[in-house]
Chain A
Amino acid sequence: MNLLEIINLTTHFQTPDGIVQAVDKIDLSIREKETFGLIGETGCGKTVIGLTIMRLLPPTATVGGEILYNGKNLLEVSETGMRKIRGEEIAIILQNPTTSLNPVLKVGEQIAEAIRLHQGLNKHDAKKKAIEMLDSVRISSPSRRANEYPHKFSGGMKQRVMIAMGLACDPSFIIADEPTKGLDVTIKAQIVELMKEMTEHKAMLLITHDLGVAAEMCDRIALMYAGELVEYAPLDEIFEKPLHPYTIGFLNSLPKKGLVPIPGMSPSLINFPDGCRFHSRCDYATGECKQKHPDMVEMGNGHFVRCFHARS
């Protein structure tokens, strides 16, 4: 059963330089209790997908398509209805914990706020619950820490606070946007462990550019390039039988594979090149790739790819 189904989703931004097509005709579905990894390089539009689901986009954005959550189209829910869903049913753990916590509010209060709003607890009980949440993300002496301000927390601790805040109202679906960005290796491993443990029975969309983290946590993985999905498949398939040249390039750029970079730059999201968006950086590109835009095709085993040469 699909908990979340995204159909033909487009998110465009009006800017002085033109229309930025950050998300372009994306289809994807997330099953209950599944962790779905969305991977791509910076600026490919993966964060925008998360914000579009939460309807947290600036007024310059226009959204098309459907986002079905439990069969209900989130794009048609009223703003008041959406406020009830945010934090209670769907939570987002935003990137950059350092800037995502309000510097002038106590950490405990920031967690308790969502609990008060959605669960109707009074100030005292909400605070108690917030302290329990801090304890569950392994912050030591949580009742003291709850009364401190974010500047007294280290980067890893702030990320734990963000996780506690996201999970405070026990949402059934979590969007985690780069939860391990900017953390050093040991802290990163701890956060991955913590997230795995805390979201075991929940569905999650994990947005990251870190394949290692994705390999640890995800059941299925999608690769995003220049506003569209180029390949998605169960985790093992991606690592064992990558089909799209971009995926292969991405895997080869891992440190243990020798850090081979993909040559060239991602295209601008304002003017896409004709044909396949990846052709200028692709070793296998032919005349067809320069003229025609490939469709997503199924290769069996739930493995989809957007490439003319995938079968060869």
Chain B
Amino acid sequence: MLVLNDVARQYNNKAAVSAVSLTVDRGSFVGVIGRSGAGKSTLLRMINRLVDPTAGTIAFDDIDVTRLSGKALRDWRARCAMIFQQFNLVGRLDVLTNVLMGRLNKVSTPRALLRLWSEEDRAIALSALEQFDIAGLAAQRADSLSGGQQQRVAIARALVQEPDVILADEPIASLDPRNTKVVMDALLRINKHYGITVMCNLHSLELARGYCDRLIGMSAGRVVFDGAPELLTDDVARGLYGLEADDVIETAPVAKPELSPGDAVAVAL
């Protein structure tokens, strides 16, 4: 069980996340939604400790994540894998090595530096790649793959960490609709088949409603909605997304503005 208590993060006196308290049950699939800059990324990064909270505590079972350092911190990071919007693979290395990097925490440093992976580690990595239908690409350089393939490699890397939690930060924001489905299905499979907790930042409400058991809506660094997807009405969503709401809520038909040449157009960014 992941418990966040009054967690906050400030950047130069500007609050990115303020006073967030959450309890995430083991095995749940949680979607974190909200507009850009709402603090979703910072929240996820604080759980992995890529970003340190300026206040509050994060705990997993009986581990106080906020106090960890050194080896204990690296162990915790291995237990809560991250998936990034830009995949964060090492482009110049082959796919298999990229996946095997997920096992670094479990291999002795000299062996890892010399890339002497054990048979077991190779088997685990290839098995993970097979699950996402990309085992055939194992020998290719990661930067020669398409975006969707790269994200699947990143998910395989996360999976071979044998984590308890997977934190996915906008995993599909750079992908086309078909790959979006492939990647979200992969996350769902990890969640259901392995019972790994997934926390996923999403921009699209439709996807969040389709895949998640629970949604957390953030606005200006605070949690403003927390509940089952059914409870997130269009009105709540409108409050979450403000001006963007009509772009995000697919059910509401987007009215095409009727303009004639010369009209002033206000563009919401």
Q: Do A and B bind each other?
A: no
